[in-house]
Amino acid sequence: MNPEGVTETAQRRDIPRVCPKRDKLMAQTSFITGQYVCVHQVAATVLQRVVAFLVDLCVMFFSSLIVGIIVGNLAIMLGSGTIVLMLILNIPILMYPLLMEVFNHGQSLGKKLVGIKVVCLDGSTPPISSYILRWVLLLVDTMAFIGLTCIVFTRNSQRLGDLAAGTTVVSLAREGYYGNLFNFSFAESGYQPIYPQATNLSMSQFRLIASILSSRPNALRNDRLLRLAEKTRRVMGVNVAPGTDAEYFLVNVYNDYQYFMSKMV
């Protein structure tokens, strides 16, 4: 992130993108948002996915059974058209996994019941083409435990459909939000501070900056960042180039403050 007007030194600085450690026994997916925030996702367990699949299988089975009973009662009236009608009414049932994931934000009834959902590896919502790929390969995945084997042995717990579509299934209960990722960049070798005036800040002012930077992204946070950046600029007595991103400025001040304080110890 290199906002327009930021000094060359600031533009060269890379903010570390290291996420907190989690259970190494679980497949994990982490991605970085545009606001230096790490969102950490843990893949759904094999048990969760199996239970969700069985629930969805039951939904499809009983739906097909009901259709069969209704059409069977109309067999005398329909005659030779009975089979045709049966096939037509079963098409939506066969497409149930696809339709539910597309229109229910990556969750079938089974997935919703156990608290899991389909996402792209970067945490975004999959496009329809990805859902279609997963659905087309579902039959292959159910043959000879192919899908189950892939889930167990792939890094992100992906079945063939997921591998082809670039998706995975994550546990919503274990999805985590972990604050900003710049905390220790001041300790890097060769760190070059930008604002020596950061030492003008009091400890309470520094803690306020840390608190707001670590808060969840929303409209209120953005407004606070803007007001805090302006107040911090006045306290420090520095001029900031027009167009400088408020959060980027505060990140640099945060790190510079820690850098200079560490030199005093």
Q: Taken in order 145, 126, 47, 44, is the CA torsion positive or negative?
A: positive
Residue 141 · residue 159 · CB < 8 Å: yes
Q: Which pTM does this prediction carry?
A: 0.58
CA distance 194 to 200: 14
Q: Tell me the pairing of strands 37-42 and 28-32.
A: antiparallel
CA distance 111 to 97: 10
Contacts of 74 (CB under 8 A, 6+ apart): 82, 85
Per-residue pLDDT tens over the stretch 34-92: 444 445 578 899 999 999 999 999 999 999 999 999 888 888 787 778 888 899 999 99
Whether the per-residue pLDDT at 7 is higher than 90: the answer is no
Residue 235 · residue 201 · CB < 8 Å: yes
CA distance 100 to 71: 24
DSSP annotation of 105 reads T
- Give the pLDDT confidence score for residue 156 in this predicted structure: 84
CA distance 86 to 239: 74
Whether the per-residue pLDDT at 2 is higher than 50: the answer is no
The average confidence (pLDDT) of the chain is 80
Q: Is 118 helix (H, G, I), strand (E, B) or coil?
A: strand
Residue 150 · residue 18 · CB < 8 Å: no
Per-residue pLDDT tens over the stretch 146-192: 999 999 999 888 999 999 999 999 988 754 444 444 545 555 667 78
Reading the block at residue 6, the tokens are 């930021």
Contacts of 201 (CB under 8 A, 6+ apart): 209, 232, 235, 236, 253, 257
- Give the pLDDT confidence score for residue 29 in this predicted structure: 56
Reading the block at residue 202, the tokens are 């009091």
Reading the block at residue 88, the tokens are 């037509």
In the block, which residue shows the tokens 């059974």?
65
Mean pLDDT computed over 219-233: 89
CA distance 242 to 5: 6
Q: How far is CA 92 from CA 63, 67, 89, 233, in A?
A: 10, 11, 7, 60
CA angle, 30 as apex, 26 and 33 as ends, to 5°?
Answer: 160
Contacts of 88 (CB under 8 A, 6+ apart): none
